[in-house]
Chain A
């Protein structure tokens, strides 16, 4: 390498080395962009989210349950909002993950080629559908169904506030559907990555195909599937536009038939007109969401690392 360089004349050599160095420097700058981006996002969300915490009081803001930002004596308790995001995400994951993992098994292990050729593109298309369309369909299909269910269930209740079907349950269903593609893809990839020898060994010992899948392949693919689940949690927690209208819009305890507000939907529905302290509280909601997401990211890193070690 060095010798070939020496045989070139010095002019082209200098020219080459200048462009070489420029290229390397430019590429390094490009690579630092993501670091810069994450650093400034963190900085801005923290500095804008903190003031309200101190102004309202940390416990009152984070654990308070009264949300009256426009009242003469405004109260900013986002306890129910945080709780709604936690409960809603948990329910969506509980519902979506089993379906997703089983579909992943279908694609990786069970599906005849012809059926896989239908299911795989379908899943890819599901992943590509914009979240506002899920929201639109939630409002048009799910909410009326939920309203019927609500009318039947709370026929004799004097205390229930009717929501017209825009409730936690509708939002959970939309979220569960939206995380399906992520969970399916990650499970399929994880299952395909399992050493085929394990499968042959299990089958040779007389286990049926299903026993092999559930007792050998799934445990072996565990870390990849967990990574998929964590990714799904992140998606469900961060989804905003699909559930803003589907979930109703009042701050309530997250019970299935209550109209609720998530961390994300609180920002979407109020940022447009909020001002002063109210606006700052919305930034704090953003900060809370950010903290949750960073926690999930760290979990995800661990899950991925464990897989890499294997």
Chain B
């Protein structure tokens, strides 16, 4: 009698657990299918390589694609040396104490600050105080702060995974610390570090709230070669910003076109990270 009730309870639990897991997968399926159906119609060569123009009556996101690439590359140029350096310090140089605890606490705090507050700070500090205004550079500096925790965390994990025997071996052969870091630790930790960088690309590509009031919403392509350099100091809206603005204007055709492009990018980023992690696991095992 009691056994039957227990079995019933068990089955109920199994049912609930399977339902929830199925729900998570179904959510993703709905999102992918819906965006694909609604967005596929907007995608064309003209959409991807043209620029929005009321005069010619064309829509296109080439300017936003270029802006997004600028933002990704420049942000990573700023953030990766600082993030990787900071992880090296924490893992290889630091002795436990107040400074390390403070760095750890602030890194965790940065990770928890919502992107809209990064946006506010970026606008106030980089935009107003440093007088960079609405520009790609302002956006990149803001995003740099936002992705630091991600890079620091992944690099630290990767360095921790390098066996101590490597360090002892290098030291035993007379290598200095910096030499050992350069030639042994960083190469061994490379897959983990790259995973962190790719994840950061994902965060940057998907970010919007921190960019709205920092990088602005410019959507034009530079007309001259110098224009591509001065672009850094001009306003430039990423794909996500253009998506948001089109959605606010109820221009859903463009919005879903951009959504599809973004989903494809996110999909490939996920694929890459999985591949690298798998490869790294194979090497270490």
Contact = CB atoms under 8 A, between A and B. Distances in A.
The answer to whether A and B come from one shared complex is yes
B86 A20 contact: no
A184 B116 contact: no
A140 interface: yes
A210 interface: yes
Given A31-B90, A139-B247, A208 B10 contact: yes
Nearest to B103: A31
Given A34-B86, A130-B205, 7 more contacts: A26-B85, A38-B106, A103-B23, A139-B247, A177-B27, A245-B248, A294-B109
Contact of A102 (B20, B178, B202, B269): B20
A180 B28 CA distance: 12
B17 A105 contact: yes
Interface stretch (A147-155, A195-203, A263-271): A263-271
Contact of A289 (B13, B31, B117): B117
B24 A37 contact: no
Contacts of A1: 171, 174
A40 B10 contact: no
A241 B212 CA distance: 10
Interface residues of A, number: 91
Contacts of B38: 140
B263 A20 contact: no
Interface stretch (B51-59, B119-127, B188-196, B224-232): B119-127
A33 B262 contact: no
B40 interface: no
A255 interface: no
Interface in B83-129: 83-86, 88-90, 92-94, 99, 102-103, 105-110, 112-118, 120-121, 123-125
A67 interface: no
A227 B171 CA distance: 39
Contacts of B82: 30, 33
Interface in A234-258: 234, 237-241, 244-245
Given A1-B171, A103-B24, A34 B148 contact: yes
B65 interface: no
A45 B259 CA distance: 32
A137 B34 contact: yes
B177 A132 contact: no
B69 interface: no
Contact of A122 (B9, B28, B105, B263): B28
B255 interface: yes
A4 B94 CA distance: 24
B219 interface: no
B267 interface: yes
B117 A41 contact: yes
Interface in B222-253: 240, 243-244, 247-248, 252
Contact of A271 (B30, B213, B252): B213
Given A48-B124, A106-B18, A135 B247 contact: yes
A130 B176 contact: no
A248 to B, nearest CB: 13
A41 B247 contact: no
A106 B270 contact: no
Interface of B: 6, 9-10, 13-14, 16-21, 23-25, 27-28, 30-31, 34-35, 38, 81-86, 88-90, 92-94, 99, 102-103, 105-110, 112-118, 120-121, 123-125, 145, 148-149, 152, 171, 174, 176-179, 181, 202, 205-209, 212-213, 240, 243-244, 247-248, 252, 255-256, 259, 262-263, 266-267, 269-270, 274
Contacts of B84: 30
Given A122-B28, A128-B266, A238-B114, A20 B209 contact: no
A55 interface: no
A137 B31 contact: yes
B27 A38 contact: no
Contacts of B255: 136
Q: Which 7 A-B pairs have the closest CB atoms?
A: A238-B114, A30-B85, A130-B206, A27-B89, A102-B20, A4-B174, A23-B178
A162 interface: no
B108 A27 contact: no
Contact of B21 (A33, A111, A272): A111
Contact of B243 (A136, A294, A301): A136
Contact of A129 (B13, B24, B89, B266): B266
A282 B209 CA distance: 15
Given A38-B110, A133-B31, A123 B24 contact: yes
A300 interface: yes
A309 B206 CA distance: 36
A107 interface: yes
17 contacts: A35-B103, A37-B148, A40-B121, A41-B118, A48-B124, A105-B17, A115-B21, A125-B267, A129-B263, A133-B259, A136-B247, A180-B24, A210-B10, A264-B114, A267-B116, A289-B117, A293-B114
Contacts of A228: none
Contacts of A106: 17-18, 20-21
Contact of B209 (A29, A136, A240): A240
